[in-house]
Structure 1
Amino acid sequence: MNYVIGIDGGGTKTTCLFMEAGQNKLPAQPKRIIGKGSNPHIIGFEEAGARLVSLIRQGLAKFTIAPHQIVGVGCGLAGVGRQDDEEHMTELLRKKFYSLNFSENCHLFVTSDSMIALKGALPEEAASGMLVIAGTGSNAIAMDKCGKIIRCGGWGHLIGDEGSGYYISLKALSKVSKAADGRGQDTAITSLLLSDLHLEQPAQLISYLYGRPHEKHEIARLARHVIAASEQGDEVAIALLQEAAEELILHAASLYRESSSFTSETPVTAAGSIFQHSAVVKQHFIEQLHKRRLGTYCKAFGPPEFGACLLAK
Structure 2
Amino acid sequence: MPELLYFGGIEGGATHSKAVICDRFGSIISKVAGPSTNHWVCGIPEVARRIADMIESAKKQANIDIDLKLQSLGLSLSGCEQDATNKVLENELLDKYPNLSKSYYVCSDTMGSIFTASPLGGMVLIAGTGSNALLRNPDGSTYTCGGWGAFLADEGAAFRIAHKAVKTVFDHEDKLILSPYDTSATWEQIKKHFNIETRYDLLDHCYAKFDKAFFASMCEKLSHLASAGDELCLHLFEDAGISLAKATMALLPNVSDQLLTKNNLNIVCVGSVWKSWTLLQNGFKTEIAKATNKFGLNLITLTQAMAIGAAYLAADSINYDLPRDYSHNYNIFQHIPPNDGSKTNGTHTNGTYTNGNGVAAKKIQTNGNGSLSNGKYTNGTSNGTSNGTTNGTSNGSTYGKSNGTSNGMSNGASNGGTPNGKYTNGIQAKKGLKTRANASPSTILVQDG
> CA-to-partner distance for each residue in 1:26-52, whole Å, 9 max, x for gaps?
75xx51112232222222212211221
C-alpha separation in 2, matches of 1:80 and 1:60: 24
CA shift for structure 1 position 12: 2.9
CA shift for structure 1 position 70: 2.4
CA shift for structure 1 position 2: 2.0
In structure 1, give the amino acid aligned to 2:59. L
1:186 aligns with 182
- Given the alignment of the two structures, is residue 151 of structure 1 paired with residue 144 of structure 2, yes or no? yes
Q: How does 1:160-199 map to 2 (within 5 A)?
A: 160-180=153-173, 183-184=178-179, 185-187=181-183, 188-199=185-196
Identity %: 23
C-alpha separation in 2, matches of 1:128 and 1:55: 27
Q: How does 1:88-107 map to 2 (within 5 A)?
A: 88-100=88-100, 102=101, 106-107=102-103
Residues 7 and 286 (structure 1 numbering): CA distance in 2 closer, same or farther, change over 3 Å?
Answer: farther
- 2:12 aligned residue (4, 9, 12): 9
Instruction: State the number of aligned residues.
Output: 301
Q: How does 1:209-248 map to 2 (within 5 A)?
A: 209=205, 212-248=208-244
Q: How does 1:44-193 map to 2 (within 5 A)?
A: 44-66=43-65, 67-68=67-68, 70-100=70-100, 102=101, 106-120=102-116, 122=117, 124=118, 127-180=120-173, 183-184=178-179, 185-187=181-183, 188-193=185-190
Q: Secondary structure of 2:112's partner?
A: helix
In structure 2, give the amino acid aligned to 1:64. N
C-alpha separation in 1, matches of 2:286 and 2:302: 17
CA shift for structure 1 position 290: 6.5
Q: State the Cα RMSD in Å.
A: 2.6
C-alpha separation in 2, matches of 1:176 and 1:277: 22
Residues 299 and 287 (structure 1 numbering): CA distance in 2 closer, same or farther, change over 3 Å?
Answer: farther
2:320 aligns with none
In structure 2, give the amino acid aligned to 1:169. A
C-alpha separation in 2, matches of 1:159 and 1:195: 27
CA shift for structure 1 position 148: 2.2
Higher helix share: 1
Aligned partners of 1:244 and 1:281 also within 8 Å? yes
CA shift for structure 1 position 289: 4.2
Residues 278 and 195 (structure 1 numbering): CA distance in 2 closer, same or farther, change over 3 Å?
Answer: farther
Aligned partners of 2:10 and 2:74 also within 8 Å? yes
C-alpha separation in 2, matches of 1:228 and 1:175: 18
CA shift for structure 1 position 205: 5.0
C-alpha separation in 2, matches of 1:97 and 1:232: 50
- Given the alignment of the two structures, is residue 303 of structure 1 paired with residue 305 of structure 2, yes or no? yes
For normalisation by structure 2, the TM-score amounts to 0.61
1:40 aligns with 39
Aligned partners of 2:196 and 2:202 also within 8 Å? no
CA shift for structure 1 position 74: 0.7
Residues 91 and 199 (structure 1 numbering): CA distance in 2 closer, same or farther, change over 3 Å?
Answer: closer
For normalisation by structure 1, the TM-score amounts to 0.85
Unaligned runs of 5+ in 1: none
Q: Secondary structure of 2:189's partner?
A: helix
CA shift for structure 1 position 98: 1.7
Residues 211 and 43 (structure 1 numbering): CA distance in 2 closer, same or farther, change over 3 Å?
Answer: closer
Aligned partners of 1:163 and 1:245 also within 8 Å? yes
C-alpha separation in 1, matches of 2:8 and 2:70: 7
In structure 2, give the amino acid aligned to 1:300. L
In structure 1, give the amino acid aligned to 2:159. Y
Unaligned runs of 5+ in 2: 316-449
> CA-to-partner distance for each residue in 1:178-227, whole Å, 9 max, x for gaps?
454562221332222223333445x4555554573312222212222321
Aligned partners of 1:13 and 1:35 also within 8 Å? yes
C-alpha separation in 1, matches of 2:55 and 2:268: 29
Q: Secondary structure of 2:209's partner?
A: coil
> CA-to-partner distance for each residue in 1:252-273, whole Å, 9 max, x for gaps?
1111123453776111121111
Larger radius of gyration: 2
C-alpha separation in 1, matches of 2:219 and 2:109: 22
1:18 aligns with 21
> CA-to-partner distance for each residue in 1:3-41, whole Å, 9 max, x for gaps?
211112233333111112322xx75xx511122322222
2:340 aligns with none
Aligned partners of 1:137 and 1:165 also within 8 Å? yes
Q: Secondary structure of 2:11's partner?
A: strand
Residues 33 and 271 (structure 1 numbering): CA distance in 2 closer, same or farther, change over 3 Å?
Answer: same
